[in-house]
A and B are shown apart, each in its own frame.
Chain A
Amino acid sequence: MSTVPGIDARTRQHVALRDRASAVVGVLVAIVVHIGVAAFGMRAGAQEGNIARRADQPLATPEDEQIIEGALLRQGGGGNVDPRHVPHRVVPIRAEERAQVSGSRHTDQPVQRHDAGVRRDPNSLVTERDIMGRGNQDLAERLRNMAANENAENPSASPGPGAPDGSIHGTETDPNRAGAGAQAKIRSFLQNRLHLLATAPTSAHRPFLLRISISSDGNSIVNGSIVDGSGDETVDSDLTVQIRQLAESHDPIPELTDDDRLQIAGRSYRVRYVPD
């Protein structure tokens, strides 16, 4: 065994004990510091959905709500603000379409449809978060969720004349666009149920205009008449029979939702045939 010359054994023992204690303290301090840093980091990353936050913890604090409300008031100019109109370039989608869109791996969450102008976050497939314009990302997401939840929880509300996508929500005032989804279903129904006669060649087909009325329950066609005939008396006579048959049969217009029925109940439509 080799020894350090000039230092006695007692001194060497004392130095050894002191070094050991320092090492232990150093290790403990390092552990505490690392735990602290890790906890801080996980806490800070809670919005990303990591394990630092419990699943049942609310997403926003009352302070957050106040901030959101303030932001809404500013964006809405101080008037009544409909949160469904505020989210960045995101439009609500109809309930029947929602089931068909599977953009989220969480199938119980409402899914948003993005318009063509939204910038897609390349990491969104992992994080499921989109860059929703400039500003507060959390606020934008929150507003989007508010709009989607409201639309999903109260689909029968009819505050306005309808939205271009066919839902009854929105501010669309053009009757040709409001309720367009229901109109598309009426159109599809008529396209399948009305026919032209094979006795007339296709080249002889002429335009005509009908008027149909929808029942008060919004379910079927209850009346119809020719406004402008095709000019071919047999074709017009045949159309008359077809419309009367439709009205008498009360065959339901397929795939109508409650929204649709509410939108079309008791209304009448002009049905124009335009040959190729």
Chain B
Amino acid sequence: MVRSRVGTILVAMALGTAALPAWILAQTPPAGGGGGSAPPSGSGEVEITLQNLQTRLLPIAIPAVRGGTPQAAAVTSVLANDLRLSALFRVIDSSTYPASDADSMTIQAPAWVPVGATAVVRAQATLTNEQVTVEVRIWEPGRPSAAVFTRTFGPSGSRGVAHQIANEIIRHYTGRAGTFGSRILFARRTGRNRKDVFTVDSDGAGLSQISSGRRLNWLPAWGPGGIYYSAQTREGFIALVRHARPTPVPIVQVDGMAMGAHFGGGHMALVLNRDGNTEIYSATPTGQNLTRLTNSPGNDLSPVISPDGSRIAFVSDRDGSPQIYVMSISGGGARRVTFQGTYNQTPAWVPNGTTIAFSSRVGGSFDIFTVNAGGGGLRRLTENQGSNSDPTYSPDGRLIAFSSSRGGIFLMNQDGLAQTQILAGGGETLRWEP
């Protein structure tokens, strides 16, 4: 009996001794790994932490819109230009596109990886009575199982369709539609003692003269029913008029100057000079109920109403040099918001009302800055790039158009990056169509 127990214990010990190395081996991970890309077990992996990754424009490929017509080619060109100007996308050079994947509404995803395309736009245009209809699909090589965007646009003109496509692609990737197809209003010198008002599409195409081409027509604004601007009368006064064919409609006409109107929140703010001193007034959009809002010994001018209609930003030299001020829509509580620089002018509200862009003289030239509407938070957007002034925000607040001594009208994003010329020639008092 005792022998058998001892024997059992010895057998158990022997089995245990034999099993122990096997158990140890089972617990030990294989040494080395050997293979170059074989993933080891998760528990043995080392973790690397990244922070503060830089952002980049979304790389997008826009192969030629299929259809074989000039309209299809125009859609391709306008769409690519819009996305480039948006400062959100990097349109990949078409010379790098894979030739093996050129004639289809789908993509061969692996062929687009070396190109670096995060998105590929496939489009097919059909033409009916000079109107274009475009079917668009967007594919992403990173998830190629299905198109991430499928829509049909038109029928419309090729430029209009292309702007619609661009705006909806921007919406797809940002949640807010783009604003291509809107116009920018501005004045430029057209001769000796002559200025005229023009519009241009926000991609720089479609330049159009608005005013008559006689005398001074400048300080334009978007308002109810169209375009307003200040025009010199035959008598030499300056009147506020609304653009109309064949003759502009007078809105405010005084013995002196009525100029620099701005509309918002059901109000009109404008500058009148009746006694040699410019002051800011408010009125209805039709020019009724003129009410004086400022009463300072200095010059008060360039009023712009905030997007919510509750405040007015304006320029005043009441403290000795032109600075930006903000007051309520009724004229009270004027508060200076710029304290740096000796010549700050041309304020423009960002559409969400938090920030004011303006131009400030630095040395012998102007540059564009932003400041919080309540003061502080000064940011410089342009520097060492000529003289830059007259900023105006796009309706979505993502882009700023401005005039530059580099030659014409430029676009940049709200951080001052991706500056691109859209129109040659001068321009002043830029106003982006709301």
Contact = CB atoms under 8 A, between A and B. Distances in A.
A19 B40 CA distance: 98
A183 B51 contact: no
B56 to A, nearest CB: 4
A272 B45 contact: no
A177 to B, nearest CB: 9
A241 B45 contact: no
Contacts of A187: 48-50
15 contacts: A176-B47, A183-B48, A187-B49, A197-B55, A211-B39, A216-B37, A234-B58, A234-B118, A237-B141, A267-B40, A268-B40, A272-B49, A273-B50, A274-B50, A274-B51
A251 B338 CA distance: 49
Interface in A203-241: 205, 211, 213-217, 222-223, 233-234, 236-241
B117 interface: yes
B128 interface: no
B54 A195 contact: yes
A272 to B, nearest CB: 5
Nearest to A233: B143
Contacts of B173: 197, 199, 234
B24 interface: no
B367 interface: no
Contacts of B40: 267-268
A136 to B, nearest CB: 41
Nearest to B140: A237
A270 interface: yes
B45 A244 contact: no
Contacts of A271: 47-50
B14 interface: no
A186 interface: yes
Contacts of B116: 241, 245
B58 to A, nearest CB: 5
Interface in B30-82: 32-40, 42, 44-58
B57 to A, nearest CB: 5
Given A190-B50, A191-B53, A198-B88, A248 B58 contact: no
Contact of A223 (B37, B53, B87, B174): B37
A67 interface: no
Interface centre among B44, B47, B50, B116 (most CB of A within 10 A): B50
A201 to B, nearest CB: 8
B363 interface: no
A40 interface: no
Given A240-B143, A241-B116, A198 B36 contact: no
Nearest to B113: A244
B399 to A, nearest CB: 13
Nearest to B143: A237
Q: Would you call the interface of chain B mostly helix, strand, loop, or mixed?
A: loop
Nearest to A226: B142
Contacts of B56: 195-198
B55 A195 contact: yes
Contact of B117 (A223, A233, A241): A241
A239 B142 contact: yes
Contacts of B118: 197, 234, 237-238, 241
B50 A272 contact: yes
B114 interface: yes
Nearest to A178: B46
B49 to A, nearest CB: 5
Nearest to A265: B36
A268 B141 CA distance: 24
A211 B142 contact: no
Nearest to A240: B142
Contacts of B89: 199
Given A197-B56, A270-B45, 19 more contacts: A175-B44, A183-B48, A195-B56, A196-B53, A196-B54, A196-B55, A197-B55, A198-B56, A216-B37, A222-B37, A234-B148, A234-B173, A236-B143, A267-B33, A268-B39, A271-B48, A273-B49, A273-B51, A274-B49
A215 B58 contact: no
Contact of A238 (B37, B50, B58): B58
A273 B148 CA distance: 25
Contacts of B53: 191, 194-196, 205, 273
Contacts of B39: 211, 213, 223, 268
B88 A270 contact: no
A270 B46 CA distance: 6
Contacts of B47: 176, 269-272
Most buried by A among B36, B173, B174: B36
A190 B52 CA distance: 12
A213 B88 CA distance: 31
A230 to B, nearest CB: 11
B42 to A, nearest CB: 8
A276 interface: yes
A75 interface: no
